[in-house]
A and B are shown apart, each in its own frame.
Chain A
Amino acid sequence: MSRNPFIRLLRFLFFAVVVRAVILVALGLTVRNRERLPKDGPALVVANHNSNLDALALMSLMPLKLLSKIRPVAAVDYFFTSKAKAWFVTNIIGIIPVKRGSAKEGGNPLLACEEALDRGEILVLFPEGSRGEPETLGKLKKGIGHLACARPKVPVVPVFMHGLGKALPKGSSLLVPFNCTASVGEPLYGTGTYNEFVAALEETMIKLGEEEKKPAWE
């Protein structure tokens, strides 16, 4: 993320005006148990992933004064396809880039995430890895387990979002207004093994999703 004050102001305005207006007017986001969201960093906010709007919607749930600390974690291969796109997601969205599949090459792909947590930042993360089937929860990747267990004191707040995959699904650039909901669960901690953590998180996310009334979308 940039240290340039002008770019930081631009980022603030983008989130304070553009993102909030779209979320408020075009979507209408109902939040259940907002008080469970982290009040300060370090923290991990994890959610199901159905739409490019997911990260922006999640970031808009937390107060603007935390904005400079909130960083979504995103894949390099998807977002760094052009110079303009890379500049935008790095400086305005403020992502932490992660290289998918780099664990096989021997490195720690989540090193940047761990460093950010040590700086007290709030990371927004989608453990499914990609947007997958619209409006369904896919299998969770193990990365979130490794990260949570590497920093066992950091709360992991699960959020289940519904409706964004209808408003702006994968493969479409046409935003159609739909009401969306975000249900926030109780925080989890990576105290056991990473496999146990991923299983517990998956169970929590499925439960959060089941509590939500979702009309058919076929």
Chain B
Amino acid sequence: MIGAFTIAIAVNQTVAIVFLAFISFLALKEYLSLIPTRRIDRGLLLFAYLAIPLQYYWAAIDWYGMFIVFVPVWLFLFFPALMALRGDTRGFLRAVGTLSWGLMLTVFALSHMAMLLVSGNTANPVAGGVGLLFFLVVLTQFNDVAQFTWGKLFGRHKVTPTVSRKKTWEGLIGGVLTTVAMAAVVGPYLTPMDIWWSAMAGAVLGIAGFLGDITLSAVKRDLGVKDTGGLIPGHGGILDRVDSLTYAAPAFFHFFRFFFMP
């Protein structure tokens, strides 16, 4: 996936945004296929998919104001009202809750990657939004591998035995520290952050990535599935690929925006 991602961001910004929107589409489709749904909501779910091109369009035209309220305010209000107007109240709250959460996670949270790509250009004159996005995605993936490796080698004490048996404190701490070191090395080249700010960004990414991972694990546990789909045989579905990014993308974006965007 990182290969396809690199090609997409190397071609041009529009291709990259379409690619990122497609990842959101795959993630939302997988999510809606895994959760219990009501037959009456079938047509309405098509509207949920339409949220993706709109949300990524706000990012593409660099309209931060609309980007940040579209899903959490407008869609949050729109879908429950639409469901209410259709008149079926059985399982209403579950349907509203699962749809809203899924949109927030797969559309809103992931679209922060596109927003970072577009709005990062002015704050990062040398490497641009591409540099920031590359920093985010590569380090998040790196952090997954680092946590896995540290856990495999030294893992003893489980963080959340009921959610994920593989996550250990040794893996988490070792992984985050490795990510911090890696971020401190590459950050000054890819972003306007110096070595200390880069290290802090690495810590944000490492911890957020871990939280995204266990949150999706909890969802899978609840639904009773081992992996989320068959995108790549043996590697689970798209949600298994982007679970860390669902948390790391918004966390890094808002960390960077708060400290480095005028």
Residues of A within 8 A of B (CB): 28, 30-31, 134, 163, 166, 169, 172, 174, 176-179, 181, 213, 215-218
How does the 8 Å CB contact mask read for B38-77 relative to A, with 1 for contact and 0 for none?
A: 1100110110010000000000000000000000000000
Q: How far is the CA of A24 from the CA of B29 in the complex (A)?
A: 12
Q: How far is the CA of A166 from the CA of B46 in the complex (A)?
A: 12
Interface contacts (Cβ under 8 Å), in number, total: 54
Stretch at the interface among B127-135, B139-147, B221-229, B245-253: B221-229
B36 at the interface (CB under 8 A from A): yes
> Contact residue range for chain B?
20 to 34
Q: How far is the CA of A30 from the CA of B34 in the complex (A)?
A: 13
A134 to chain B: closest residue by CB: B39
Known: A172-B42, A179-B30; 19 extra A-B contacts, CB below 8 A, are A28-B30, A30-B229, A30-B230, A134-B39, A166-B33, A166-B37, A166-B42, A174-B46, A176-B42, A176-B46, A178-B32, A179-B229, A215-B33, A215-B36, A215-B37, A215-B223, A216-B36, A217-B38, A218-B38
Q: How far is the CA of A215 from the CA of B102 in the complex (A)?
A: 15
Instruction: Tell me the minimal C-beta distance from B78 to chain A in angstroms.
Output: 18
Task: Give residues 213-262 of B contacting A (CB, 8 Å).
Answer: 223-225, 229-231, 237
Instruction: Tell me the minimal C-beta distance from B233 to chain A in angstroms.
Output: 9
Q: How far is the CA of A163 from the CA of B30 in the complex (A)?
A: 11
> Which of the residues A134, A176, A179 comes within 8 Å of B45, measured between beta carbons?
A176
Q: List 12 A-B contacts (CB under 8 A).
A: A28-B26, A28-B29, A28-B229, A172-B42, A174-B43, A179-B30, A213-B224, A215-B34, A215-B36, A216-B37, A217-B37, A218-B91
Q: How far is the CA of A179 from the CA of B34 in the complex (A)?
A: 9
Instruction: Tell me the minimal C-beta distance from B189 to chain A in angstroms.
Output: 36
- Taking CB atoms, residues of chain B closer than 8 Å to A169 are 42
- Taking CB atoms, residues of chain A closer than 8 Å to B38 are 217-218
Q: How far is the CA of A218 from the CA of B32 in the complex (A)?
A: 14
- Taking CB atoms, residues of chain A closer than 8 Å to B42 are 166, 169, 172, 174, 176
Residues of B within 8 A of A (CB): 25-26, 29-30, 32-39, 42-43, 45-46, 49, 91, 223-225, 229-231, 237
Given contacts A30-B230, A218-B38, A218-B39, contact A178 B91 (CB under 8 A): no
Instruction: Tell me the minimal C-beta distance from B211 to chain A in angstroms.
Output: 25
Given contacts A28-B26, A178-B33, contact A213 B225 (CB under 8 A): yes
Q: Is the CB of A215 within 8 A of B35?
A: yes
- Taking CB atoms, residues of chain A closer than 8 Å to B237 are 179
Q: How far is the CA of A163 from the CA of B237 in the complex (A)?
A: 16
- Taking CB atoms, residues of chain A closer than 8 Å to B91 are 218
Instruction: Tell me the minimal C-beta distance from A211 to chain B in angstroms.
Output: 13
Q: Is the CB of B39 within 8 A of A217?
A: yes
Which of A172, A174, A215 counts the most B-chain CB atoms under 10 A from its CB? A215
Q: How far is the CA of A217 from the CA of B33 in the complex (A)?
A: 10
B229 to chain A: closest residue by CB: A179
Instruction: Tell me the minimal C-beta distance from B253 to chain A in angstroms.
Output: 27
- Taking CB atoms, residues of chain B closer than 8 Å to A174 are 42-43, 46
Q: How far is the CA of A180 from the CA of B30 in the complex (A)?
A: 10
A215 to chain B: closest residue by CB: B36
- Taking CB atoms, residues of chain B closer than 8 Å to A178 are 29, 32-33
B48 to chain A: closest residue by CB: A176
- Taking CB atoms, residues of chain B closer than 8 Å to A163 are 33
A175 to chain B: closest residue by CB: B46
B42 to chain A: closest residue by CB: A176
Q: Is the CB of B35 within 8 A of A177?
A: no
